[in-house]
Structures are given as structure tokens and as C-alpha cells.
Amino acid sequence: MSLFEDLGLRQEILKAISEMGFEQPTPIQEETLPFLFANRGDLVALAQTGTGKTAGYGLPILEQTDLTDRSVQTLVLCPTRELCMQITGDMQKFARYLPQFKIIAVYGGTNIVPQMQALKSGVHMVVATPGRALDLLRRKALKIGSIRWLVLDEADEMLSMGFKDDLDTILSETPKGRHTLLFSATMPREIQDISRRYMKEPVEIAVGRRNAGAEQVNHEYYMVHARDRYAALKRIIDFYPRIYGIVFCRTRAETQEVADKLMGEGYDADVLHGDLSQAQRDFVMGRFRQKHLQLLVATDVAARGLDVNDLTHIINYNLPDDLEVYIHRSGRTGRAGKTGLSISIVHTREQSRIAQLEKIVRKKFLQKQVPGGREICEKQLFNQIDKVERVEINESQIGPFLDVIMKKLAWLDREELVKRFVSVEFNRFLSYYEGAPDLNVRPQEPKAKASGRKSTPREKIRYSNFYINLGTKNNLNPGALIGLINGTTGNRDISIGKIELMKRFSFFQVDSRFEHEIINSLQGARFGSVRIMVELRPMDK
């Protein structure tokens, strides 16, 4: 507690954080706390989620809040409801012995009237999602004309979720004399733009390297054919019987499909995507946080701002189209000094993307072999034995039945009893994996240099022309269109030909064998706010 005491925190705060188990400050707190107490200038802090950022800015702000003034002195903006609630909960714990301190979390998906009433009664700190903050500003319920601190928590995620316009509007309405604190895991160009436009000579503090992944996370990948992706996922899950993690998919449809398959086969899994109501989302997250679920199958957008402790694994069922999103995914494990594992299931055409990720994360990715049936059965067997060793015996509950059980099993010797007991759970794995095929695919070899021999001609692809009701006006570009096709179909093996972009519509070509897949996947899907229409067009003669 030496640093916390040296900073001059009031005794009420010191008592609260001592009861919370604060002993040594985290690296981000060691950097931010002295700066914010001494300087109170603008700050850009680069740090992963789960590194203690809330205390890094929350304790100095709490210490310097005028508790006699019930106007909004601090506005914290963050990407999701879950993060709003987490920050608010942490601040309430810090202020446990300061009952005068008032804080409110405001977010969408819930009744705005109670939030307006709470603001009217007076609060010192507001923690908000950008959309709801803007709504309250327009209703004149939230007044930020005299705030002293503006905090942008997980700023890169807010931008990736499309909150840039909301942030610009809110930032433009805050007083020039405010102190702006920006926390981000990565530093894309948009974050640098915000820093230049809205901050005054900010000091940059980096814990870890810029845009790099967490040090405690190891990275592995398995290479399979696209058709074997789900089978590989199951084997990975079975190989880690104590897994507690998130499986990331690209699209809502794929997320639901994978979750349904896992649940249908008896895995402790559930789904999280944008089609769920807030009540459904809260129910799923409650079960996951209480570890009644081992696996959460989620899209990137649905998982924004989630903060769940002790995740052992992140599984990338598909690599994200924007590779920097991988940093956010993998950074959800390996926290609080624990080691985490980020696993990617890839196919041969994604080899180059692994190399790109290694440069971004600045770590080597280890290629692993998809485990076979024998390896999985061995892991499951010893996990079952470990569970028996660790199980808690409740004598009072089982005592009345022991005599009957002993008589029932008296004809079995010790060795036979152990065999039968182990086989109860183990037989299903033996049966399922008996004769299981090898799912591994060898990496593609680099192309050999040209020689005097003629190469065998590759099969010529026949392309079909498609019309789509999206164009440059909708911010469509070739990369976005390719990502749209890959994401909606869930198939990265579709060969894409010419792309011709117009202002309000576009034309593109794909391998004719995938005509129906394109139409069935894209028709009625959404790109931003536009519902997609796609039509097959005849080839020009």
C-alpha cells in the first residue's frame, strides 16, 4: 500500500481499497496515479483491458472530487453496458466510506426516465455509453458544461463499434478547461485524430508495447480444411476439459449455428450476439460469469466491453477481417498475472494472415497438430481421475445409503470397481473417437522457381456476375465487399473476380459454383443500415 498511502489518498479511500485487497499497484497504476495527482493534464494511456485502468484514473478523480458540489464533475464514456456497470461498481467500492459520492451508469436498452430522474437529483460522476449520453444531452437531462474530467475508456473499441460521430458531438460540447484521459489497447489512426483534435499536449503512457498483445498470452493455431473447422473445434474443447473461454465467430448466423451444435451435443455452452434482447444477454452473461457455462460463442460486437475474470482460452473459430481485432480477442485471457491461451483454427489460404498477426502481436504463433482420439481420451481419463480425487465427500448426505451401496458392489474387487467407475464417463469418448480421422493439413509449400518444364495448367474458374445495391456512398470498397462475402457465407474459399464499384450500386464476380451460396447468404443481410439486395446478372457476350 506504500504508493497509495504516499499519494495522500484520504483515509476513507485507503480503507476501502485495503479491504478490496489492493496491495501493490499494477503497472498502469504506477504510471497514471502519480501523474494524475501531480499534473492533472491530458493523458493517453495504452493498456490492455483488465490491467487496473479503472483505479488508475478513478482513485485520483475520486480524491479530487468536490463532494459538496452535486453537479456532474466527471464523464466516463465506454463502449458497452457491461463495462458501464463494471466501472460504476468499482467506483462505488472505492467510495464505500464516502456516502456523499454519487455516481450513475447510463446506457441504452433500458428505460431512460429513471436515469433522467437520477441526473436531476445530482451526481458527481456519470459513466455512459456514447449513444445514451448523446440522447440525454439532447434532452438536456445531462449537463456537461462544467465537467472537470472526461475519460474515454476503451476508446479504440468505441470507434470500432461506430461511435465516432457520437464522440465528436459529445467532445465538442465539453468545456475547454476539462482534463481528458484516453485509455486504449491499440492506437489506430482514429485515436490519434481524437488526441490531436480534442486534447491539449497529452502525455502518452504505454504499459506494454503499442498495439501489442498481452505478455501472458500464448498463441497457437491449428491448420485444417474449412469443412473440418467445427470438428477441429470439438477436439480442441475435448482436449482441454477444464476450458473456460470464448469462441469467436464472424457472423451472427455462424455464432448461433456453432452454439446450437455444441449445446445439442451436450457441451456447457451458450451464444452471445446482437439479436439477443438485453434480458437474454444478461441471463447468458450471468451464467457465464458464475461458471455455469464453460464456453461462450460470440461475435466481436456482442463481446465488446465484456470483462470476465479467469478465462483460460480464447478460440478464434475464424480470424477477424480486421487483424487488430485479434488483440482485443486474445487480451481477454492472460490477466492478473495468469497465463492464457489464444487458439486460431485456420486453413491453408490463411497462412499469410498468421505471419501478419505475428508482426502485430510481436510473438511467434506455434502451429499445433489437431489432437487425435487417443490423445483426447487420455486427457479426459486423467481429468476424470482428478475430479474423483478432488470431490468433496458429504458424509451426512451419503451415509444412509452406504450400506446398500456396499452390498450392491460387494461382488466387485477393487480393480474391477475402478475400471467400471472410470468407464461411466469415459466410454462415450472412446466410442466417439474410435477410428477418428486425422484433420491436420500440411502448410502450403512456397511456389518453386520456374524451370524449363511446363507446369500442369490449373483448372479455369468460370465466374458469375452479380449486382449488389451498395456502392461507394455506403462506404463500400473492395476489401469491405470481400469481407462481406466471406463473413455472410462463412466461406473464405470462394474465388472472387472483378469488382466494379459505382456510387449507389456495384458489380462483382464470384466462382459460378457458389452462385446459390452467395444469393442465400447476402440476400436480406445488412451492411450498416442498408438491407442488401443481390441479383445474378447474365455475362456480357
Any idea what the CATH number is for the domain that residue 513 is in?
A: 3.30.70.330
In a domain, 438, yes or no: no
How far is the first Cα of the chain from the last one, in angstroms, to the nearest whole number? Answer: 79
Task: Determine the Cα–Cα distance for residues 258 and 256; give it in Å rounded to an integer.
Answer: 6
Query: 27 and 176, same structural domain?
Result: yes
**Structure confidence at residue 369 (pLDDT):** 92
Query: 196 and 48, same structural domain?
Result: yes
CA distances from 519 to 153, 486, 505, 511, 522 (A): 40, 13, 16, 13, 6
Query: 194 and 116, same structural domain?
Result: yes
Q: Are 44 and 182 in contact (CB under 8 A)?
A: yes
Query: 194 and 230, same structural domain?
Result: no
Query: 125 and 32, same structural domain?
Result: yes
Q: Are 36 and 57 in contact (CB under 8 A)?
A: yes
In a domain, 147, yes or no: yes
Query: 230 and 191, same structural domain?
Result: no
Query: 101 and 23, same structural domain?
Result: yes
In a domain, 387, yes or no: no
Query: 192 and 260, same structural domain?
Result: no
Final residue before a domain boundary, out of 373, 388, 416? 373
Query: 255 and 171, same structural domain?
Result: no
**Any idea what the Cα angle at residue 83 is, between residues 79 and 89, rounded to 5°?**
145
Question: What CATH number corresponds to the domain at position 35?
Answer: 3.40.50.300
Q: Which domain holds residue 240?
A: 218-373
Q: Residue 432: how many CA atoms within 13 Å on its side-chain side?
A: 14
In a domain, 458, yes or no: no
**Structure confidence at residue 214 (pLDDT):** 61
pTM comes to 0.58
**Structure confidence at residue 337 (pLDDT):** 65
**Structure confidence at residue 232 (pLDDT):** 94
Query: 478 and 331, same structural domain?
Result: no
Query: 180 and 236, same structural domain?
Result: no
Give the chain's domain count: 3
* Of 84, 50, 80, the residue nearest 331 (C-alpha): 50
In a domain, 11, yes or no: yes
* Of 318, 278, 281, the residue nearest 300 (C-alpha): 318
Chain CA centroid to CA 246, Å: 8
**Structure confidence at residue 305 (pLDDT):** 60
**Structure confidence at residue 208 (pLDDT):** 55
Task: Determine the Cα–Cα distance for residues 497 and 487; give it in Å rounded to an integer.
Answer: 17
In a domain, 490, yes or no: yes
In a domain, 277, yes or no: yes
Residue 480's SS3 state is: helix
Final residue before a domain boundary, out of 159, 180, 206? 206
Residue with cell 468433496: 392
Give the chain's residues under pLDDT 70.
1-3, 48-50, 208-215, 304-307, 336-337, 425-426, 443-460, 538-541
Distant-in-sequence, close-in-space partners of 515: CB < 8 Å, separation ≥ 6: 464, 536
Final residue before a domain boundary, out of 373, 402, 432? 373
In a domain, 270, yes or no: yes
Q: Are 466 and 496 in contact (CB under 8 A)?
A: no
Residue 405's SS3 state is: helix
Q: What share of the chain is helix, strand, coil (3-state, %, to 5)?
A: 45, 15, 40
Query: 361 and 253, same structural domain?
Result: yes
Task: Determine the Cα–Cα distance for residues 380 and 374; give it in Å rounded to an integer.
Answer: 10
